[in-house]
């Protein structure tokens, strides 16, 4: 299996994608912006289909659309990304646009399926370099703003009073989420991004006792899910995103069960 | 003997859109003292605090009316409400170091670790430092909040009704701790409270807001006369 270059690329990419999903996912869960990530995934679909229509690389279109909408959401108001009504409007409009661009570009429908649900053969060598560069960028920025990001995410109200520049950190974070979404979409497709970005972190929340542990556990969950998913997809020829979502879903159910059991025992 | 002023407020009008809450407020805050800010709900205590922080934060707001002798970074406010997710695995230790943002390294440097241990000892949190914050009791949480505020070596600490949800014993304990730290660290505290007993027991000054006016009284002179001389 690993003798095929495309499988090697997919395995390497998933390893690094799992790292950023674990780190960014913990903040997404802490900042209660899971629903916004869902919207970003639809926006990224729209961006990718625009890219096909305009003849640029799909990840470029995704980045453009997701980053621009992150900036817009930050400027429009901090609470907007948590407001379900406005977020739903966003989703609908962008899916509509995505459909339009796809039909204008005259590509086959398999192209759309690849964007929406990911593909095991989707990553070429050039894609891999692109992804690794982006991931390095995301990690670098995250490390530099790590402490401030922790402060505004885990103690939002305290930071509002006691820290300067919280708005900028919030904006920068949304841009990082946008980049992470665009990168993750390459493996699981744009519709199932949260299966890697929020589900492992939500599961880890129930098992960990500290933030670092939570990141480590979500990394292990993501990595196991993607690698196992790639393997199962290779031997069964079923879609990789199906396996990833099922594995992450099972992890979540067991974590929740563990949490319920341990809290009833304690009480 | 009077210690030095860290804050002077002169003829400040505290307003919300369409209404003046406090007229022509003037008071001084002295270093190393505990000032209790009292008054009914809605008289403008929280708005006043916001004004003070705003004045410290930028160099445009209220420059005539509010004069600080310290910087914004020397102030820590402990807010009344915090939106801490009880299920989130944030340990007490994790929470205490959240406001250390002057360094950028993702892990703590040696001096920060030493400061953390010192503050944990001071606030008596050794037993629960690795526990999830969501599982701490009300009194423990307030000590954790206090510990976080102390991490940055503040010169002015603002406590917004920190005792309002605590039982009698925890209130007294918390205030005793605050007084101890004031004496040790030359800290100044503004304590917003509705509890007249705590004001009498622990306050050095009381700034009472009533009917749109604020009045400052020196509690050391009126109730425990001579003790300060």
Q: What is the ipTM of this complex?
A: 0.89
> What confidence category does residue A79 fall into, taking pLDDT thresholds of 50, 70 and 90?
low
A123 backbone φψ class: left, alpha, beta (φ>0; ψ -120 to 50): beta
The phi and psi torsions of A164 (rounded to 5 degrees) equal -95, 155
pLDDT of amino acid B60: 82
| Greater pLDDT, A72 or B181 | B181
Cβ distance of A155 and B148 shorter than 8 Å: yes
pLDDT of amino acid B135: 85
Residue B183 and residue A230: Cα distance in Å, rounded? 63
Nearest CB among A147, A159, A210 relative to B89 is that of A210
Nearest CB among B57, B79, B132 relative to A158 is that of B79
Cβ distance of A164 and B57 shorter than 8 Å: yes
Interface probe, candidates B70, B99, B145, chain A, greatest A C-beta count within 10 A: B99
Contact partners, residue A51, CB within 8 Å, separation at least 6: A57, A58, A59, A60, A61, A62
Neighboring chain A residues of B149 at a CB cutoff of 8 Å:
162
pLDDT of amino acid A90: 79
**Residue A206: how many CA atoms within 13 Å on its side-chain side?**
18
Range of the domain at A172: 5-265
Q: Is the pLDDT of residue A108 over 70?
A: no
Nearest CB among B57, B82, B104 relative to A158 is that of B82
Average pLDDT for A91-116: 82
B57 near A CB under 8 A = yes
Residue B25 and residue B209: Cα distance in Å, rounded? 9
Q: The domain spanning residue A222 has which CATH number?
A: 1.10.3470.10
Residue B140 and residue B133: Cα distance in Å, rounded? 9
Q: Is the pLDDT of residue A135 over 90?
A: yes
Nearest CB among A147, A156, A207 relative to B100 is that of A147
Tally helices (H) and strands (E) across chain A: 13, 0
Average pLDDT for A245-259: 95
Residue A200 and residue A262: Cα distance in Å, rounded? 19
* Range in A5-19, A104-118, A169-183, B101-115 with the lowest mean pLDDT: A104-118
Which residue from B minimizes the CA distance to A202?
B88
Look up the pTM and report it: 0.88
Residue A176 and residue A182: Cα distance in Å, rounded? 10
Cβ distance of B77 and A162 shorter than 8 Å: yes
Cβ distance of B89 and A30 shorter than 8 Å: no
Cβ distance of B89 and A205 shorter than 8 Å: yes
Cβ distance of B87 and A151 shorter than 8 Å: no
Nearest CB among A154, A161, A208 relative to B77 is that of A161
> In this structure, are residues A100 and A50 in contact, taking their beta carbons and an 8 Å threshold?
no
pLDDT of amino acid A239: 87
Cβ distance of B84 and A155 shorter than 8 Å: yes
Listed in order, strand segments (DSSP E) in B2-127 are 5-16, 19-30, 34-38, 66-68, 75-78
List residues of chain A with CB under 8 Å from any CB of chain B: 29-30, 143-148, 150-151, 154-159, 161-164, 204-211, 213-214, 259
| Residue A16 CA: distances (Å) to CA of A2, A61, A66 | 17, 21, 20
Cβ distance of B104 and A206 shorter than 8 Å: no
How, if at all, do strands B34-38 and B205-210 pair? parallel
Average pLDDT for A147-159: 92
Cβ distance of A154 and B88 shorter than 8 Å: yes
Q: Is the pLDDT of residue A77 over 80?
A: no
> What confidence category does residue B192 fall into, taking pLDDT thresholds of 50, 70 and 90?
very high
Q: Is the pLDDT of residue B227 over 50?
A: no
Residue A46 and residue A41: Cα distance in Å, rounded? 9
Task: Indicate the DSSP class of residue B131.
Answer: S
Q: For a pLDDT cut of 70, what percent of chain B falls above it? A: 96
> What confidence category does residue B8 fall into, taking pLDDT thresholds of 50, 70 and 90?
very high
The phi and psi torsions of B205 (rounded to 5 degrees) equal -130, 155
Q: Is the pLDDT of residue A147 over 60?
A: yes
Look at chain A and report how many structural domains it folds into.
Answer: 1
Neighboring chain A residues of B130 at a CB cutoff of 8 Å:
209-210
pLDDT of amino acid A81: 56
Number of Cβ atoms within 10 Å of the Cβ of B208: 15
Cβ distance of B95 and A155 shorter than 8 Å: yes
């Amino acid at each position: 299996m690993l003798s095929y270059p495309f499988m090697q690329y997919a395995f390497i990419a998933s390893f690094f994608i799992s790292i950023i999903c674990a780190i960014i996912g913990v903040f997404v869960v802490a900042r209660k912006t899971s629903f916004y990530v869902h919207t970003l995934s639809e926006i990224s679909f729209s961006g990718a289909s625009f890219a096909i229509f305009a003849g640029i690389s799909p990840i470029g279109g995704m980045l453009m659309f997701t980053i621009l909408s992150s900036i817009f959401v930050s400027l429009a108001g901090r609470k907007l990304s948590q407001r379900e009504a406005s977020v739903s409007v966003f989703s609908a409009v962008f899916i509509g646009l995505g459909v339009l661009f796809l039909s204008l570009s005259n590509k086959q429908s398999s192209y759309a399926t690849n964007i929406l649900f990911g593909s095991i053969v989707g990553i070429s060598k050039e894609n891999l370099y692109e992804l690794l560069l982006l991931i390095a960028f995301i990690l670098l920025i995250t490390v530099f703003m790590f402490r401030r990001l922790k402060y505004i995410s885990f103690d939002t109200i305290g930071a509002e009073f006691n820290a300067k520049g919280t708005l900028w950190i919030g904006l920068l974070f949304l841009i990082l989420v946008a980049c992470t979404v665009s990168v993750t979409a390459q493996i699981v497709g744009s519709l199932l991004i949260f299966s890697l970005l929020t589900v492992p972190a939500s599961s880890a929340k129930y098992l960990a006792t500290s933030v670092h542990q939570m990141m480590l556990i979500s990394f292990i969950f993501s990595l196991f899910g993607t690698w196992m998913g790639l393997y199962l997809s290779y031997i069964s020829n079923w879609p990789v995103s199906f396996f990833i979502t099922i594995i992450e879903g099972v992890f979540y159910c067991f974590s929740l069960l563990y949490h319920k059991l341990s809290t009833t025992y304690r009480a | 003997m009077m210690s030095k002023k860290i804050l002077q407020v002169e003829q400040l009008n505290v307003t919300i859109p369409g209404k003046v809450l406090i007229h022509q407020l003037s008071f001084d805050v002295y270093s190393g003292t505990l000032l209790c800010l009292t008054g009914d709900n809605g008289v403008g205590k929280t708005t006043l605090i916001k004004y003070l922080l705003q004045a410290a934060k930028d160099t445009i707001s209220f420059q005539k009316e509010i004069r600080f002798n310290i910087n914004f970074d020397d102030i820590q406010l402990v807010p009344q409400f915090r939106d801490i997710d009880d299920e989130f695995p944030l340990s007490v230790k994790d929470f205490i170091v959240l406001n250390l943002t002057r360094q950028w390294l993702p892990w703590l440097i040696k001096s920060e670790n030493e400061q953390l241990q010192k503050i944990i000892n001071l606030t008596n949190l050794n037993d629960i430092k690795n526990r999830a914050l969501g599982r701490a009791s009300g009194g423990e949480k307030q000590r954790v909040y206090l510990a976080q505020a102390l991490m940055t070596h503040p010169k002015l600490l603002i406590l917004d009704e920190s005792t309002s949800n605590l039982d009698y014993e925890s209130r007294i304990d918390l205030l005793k701790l605050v007084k101890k730290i004031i004496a040790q660290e030359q800290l100044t505290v503004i304590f917003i409270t509705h509890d007249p007993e705590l004001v009498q027991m622990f306050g050095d000054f009381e700034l009472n807001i009533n009917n749109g006016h604020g009045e400052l009284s020196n509690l050391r002179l009126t109730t425990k006369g001579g003790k300060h001389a």
